Structure 1
């Protein structure tokens, strides 16, 4: 009986050591090695055309971010695996190893303490507002009024910017671009602030509202977030790859292809390349 107890205890210790070793190995495996081992590239996606879009009832994701993710997966020889997140949870998803990359994630100082970013920007865009047609908006101060209600996506650059510059306005924050747009559609707010490309697509769909870029116009680069880790192989590969796509014009091609599929004339929409402004 005593021998059996010792044997059971020994087996339990061996099991615990093996389990710990497995967890430690998983924790220490780089993103680059994990992608190769799993055979897929996990890309964070959220309903936000033209960056990410999935038609109701369908499974395939399209949009600029999805196009780049699919091509990256092809380059790596793995499958493209979309994982749904929100802009507000994308950083946490990277930290928790639920996704490998999130496109159109702005590289702010605060985010840079939590996740890593490639050196070259992914795209460039300008902050805009889709507002009621009867509003006169020339600068941000025109929106900084008591009784003015604006919608933004929570935890985004837009949220940070208008919270700082419009202290008198009421800011309603939503988990996704779609929910922020829905608040404008239902007239719960007088305007919604996003970067210009999504607003142009949504303005066409809604059939009302004016798109303005209040002065001073905030033009900013956007990036691709990856997990912060000692091994920089994946981050550096992402940097080389998005730089190549950007400089060869392929990023703009994918962007325009989605706009056309969304029935938006690319000529009416600002380019995502700073050199074209």
Structure 2
């Protein structure tokens, strides 16, 4: 009886040691080596056109972020593995080793405490307006007029910027982007202010309006977040790759290809290369 009990305990400890070893291996293994061993590149995706989009009736992810992930996987000789996250959970997913990379996540000092970023920006977007078609807008000053009404989400960078720079316009603040858009859709305001990519879907839904990036341009760079680790091979490769895509115009083409598939004319939408603004 004692012998059998000892044998069972030994087997139990052996199994525990095996799983502990596997977990330690997964934890210690670099992202670069893990991708090669697993045979897939795990990319965080979330329904957010033009970056990520999956038709409700389909299974394939499209959009700029998905396309870049697919191209990277092809170069690495592995499969593209989309993993659904939200913008709020993407960093935790990286830290927990659920994904290898999250595209279109802005590099901020706070985020850089938790994850790593390549030095090369992925793309650029700018503060813009979806405005009435009959308005002539080149500069922010063109909106700085009495009788001009602009909606914006409360407590945002957009609200702070236009409140300071458009003192003559009437700024209407709403709880979220959807409410700010609804004000434009109903004709309560002449324009809604956001960073320009989300305005693409908004204009498509509303069916009218022009997207304009007024000057001086208030731009923001977006990036690709990766796990923070001592082995920098994957981060450095990502840096080289997104730089190549950007400089050769491939990132912009991915953006335009998605717009066309989304039934949006690329000529009516500001670019994501700041050199093209």
Establish whether TM, by shorter chain, passes 0.5.
Answer: yes
| Cα deviation, residue 201, structure 1 | 3.7
Partner of 1:172: 175
| Cα deviation, residue 161, structure 1 | 2.3
**Aligned Cα RMSD in Å?**
3.3
In the TM superposition, 1:1-277 aligns within 5 A as 1-130=1-130, 138=140, 150-151=152-153, 161-162=157-158, 172=175, 180-181=177-178, 184-185=181-182, 194-208=194-208, 211=211, 213=213, 217-277=217-277
Superposition TM-score, scaled by structure 2 size: 0.79
Quote the Cα distance in structure 1 between the aligned partners of 2:90 and 2:194.
17
> How has the CA–CA distance of structure 1 residues 225 and 169 changed in structure 2, closer, same or farther, with 3 Å as cutoff?
farther
Give CA-to-partner distance per residue, 1:46-102, whole Å, 9 cap, x none: 122111111221111111111111111110111111112222221111112111111
Whose radius of gyration is greater, 1 or 2?
Answer: 2
Which runs of 5 or more residues in structure 2 are unaligned? 134-138, 145-149, 165-170
Quote the Cα distance in structure 1 between the aligned partners of 2:252 and 2:16.
52
Superposition TM-score, scaled by structure 1 size: 0.79
| Cα deviation, residue 15, structure 1 | 2.1
> How has the CA–CA distance of structure 1 residues 264 and 229 changed in structure 2, closer, same or farther, with 3 Å as cutoff?
same
> How has the CA–CA distance of structure 1 residues 203 and 149 changed in structure 2, closer, same or farther, with 3 Å as cutoff?
closer
| Cα deviation, residue 267, structure 1 | 1.8
Quote the Cα distance in structure 1 between the aligned partners of 2:253 and 2:216.
29
**Contact kept in structure 2, 1:149 and 1:172, CA below 8 Å:** no
Quote the Cα distance in structure 2 between the aligned partners of 1:128 and 1:256.
18
SS of 1:106 mapped into structure 2: coil
SS of 1:204 mapped into structure 2: helix
SS of 2:259 mapped into structure 1: helix
SS of 2:15 mapped into structure 1: helix
Give CA-to-partner distance per residue, 1:202-254, whole Å, 9 cap, x none: 21332245646577642011111111111111111111111111111111111
SS of 2:65 mapped into structure 1: helix
Which runs of 5 or more residues in structure 1 are unaligned? 143-147, 153-158, 174-179
**Contact kept in structure 2, 1:259 and 1:265, CA below 8 Å:** yes
Give CA-to-partner distance per residue, 1:107-136, whole Å, 9 cap, x none: 111111111111111001102344799xxx
